[in-house]
Amino acid sequence: MKFVLSIMLLISTSAWAQKGEVVAQVGKETITAEEFTKKFNEVKSQTMNPPTRDQFLEDLVRFEVGVQEAYKRGLDKDPIVIDRFRQEMYKALLEKDIGPRIQKIQVSDKEMQAWYKNNPELRTSHILIEYKPGATAAQIAEAKKRATEILSEVNKSKRPFEELVKLYSDDALSKQAGGDVGWQSRVTLVPSYYEAIANMKVGEVKGLIETQFGFHIVKLTGRRSYENANKRQIRAAVFDEKRRQIFNDYFDKLKKSYSIKENKSAIK
């Protein structure tokens, strides 16, 4: 129904009726003019094509009927419903307690430069010797054996790396471009891949680097200066770090009020 989702919002109204006047009653629950107006006005402010008052009243009535029917059927005791309620409670707590602090986060150019110094954008070409998701230990060992042999060949060969990519790589997408995967950053690359290339020199070849895709033999082909880097991505990364710090500080403090026991050996 076109307007059903809108009534899930906390919505608002105009003074077309007296505050205490009842505009509808569903079972034992009433909808007052004040409630209707508040919700109706908020929907109007958020919707390009808002409903008429009659349509919106029908939506409110249907919503109340649906909620009462759900209680009648005991859905408030359904594990899925309970889990969703818990999630909404969790989100509401965070919005109330740390939402305002997150909204005040500011990122300076100095902070962006400091972050970028340790997290530059890098360009690489690679040869991938893949193993499929769910591969057995034997299959992974076989892929590693093949990758080791190819790395040995790459180190001895006088042929351009790009030619060797076309001979050996399993990455069909980058293979046609000589293995080039373009400019990437810490936030766009698999962590183990980025960490392995972060301190390489341009032109250096390194292997084996293992990711969930397989084993990589990598050549660093570029290191981008801050002036030419993706500033929007850098700003977002710094913002995320600040937001994560607020989140961590909040729970480090809150957890002190609770008795918590963990058995991490059970998840190994």
**Tens-digit pLDDT profile for residues 18-72:** 557 999 999 999 999 999 999 999 999 998 898 999 999 999 999 999 999 999 9
Instruction: Single out the residue of 194, 196, 225, 191 nearest to residue 208, CA to CA.
Output: 196
The encoded tokens of residue 268 equal: 């190994």
Domain boundaries, the chain: 5-73, 122-223
**Tens-digit pLDDT profile for residues 139-195:** 999 999 999 999 999 999 999 999 999 999 999 999 989 999 999 999 999 999 999
pLDDT for 7 equals: 42
pLDDT for 207 equals: 87
Bin 70: left if φ > 0, else alpha if -120 < ψ < 50, else beta: alpha
Per 3-state DSSP, the chain is made up of helix, strand and coil in percentages (nearest 5) of: 55, 15, 30
194-198 own/partner pairs: CB under 8 Å, 24+ apart = 194/122, 197/122, 197/124, 198/120, 198/122
**Tens-digit pLDDT profile for residues 77-130:** 999 999 999 999 999 999 999 999 999 999 999 999 999 999 999 999 999 999
Instruction: Give the Cβ contact number of residue 213 at 10 Å.
Output: 17
Task: Using alpha carbons, list the distances in angstroms from residue 71 to 27, 76, 235.
Answer: 13, 6, 46
Omega before 208 within 30 of 0, i.e. cis:
yes
Length of the chain: 268
The verdict on pTM exceeding 0.95 is no
Confidence of residue 268 (pLDDT cuts 50, 70, 90): confident
Angle, CA 185 vertex, CA 101 and CA 165 arms, to 5°: 160
Give me the mean pLDDT over the 249-260 stretch: 96
Class of domain 122-223 as given by CATH: alpha beta
Whole-angstrom Cα distance, residue 34 to residue 17? 8
**Tens-digit pLDDT profile for residues 232-241:** 999 999 999 9
pLDDT for 20 equals: 73
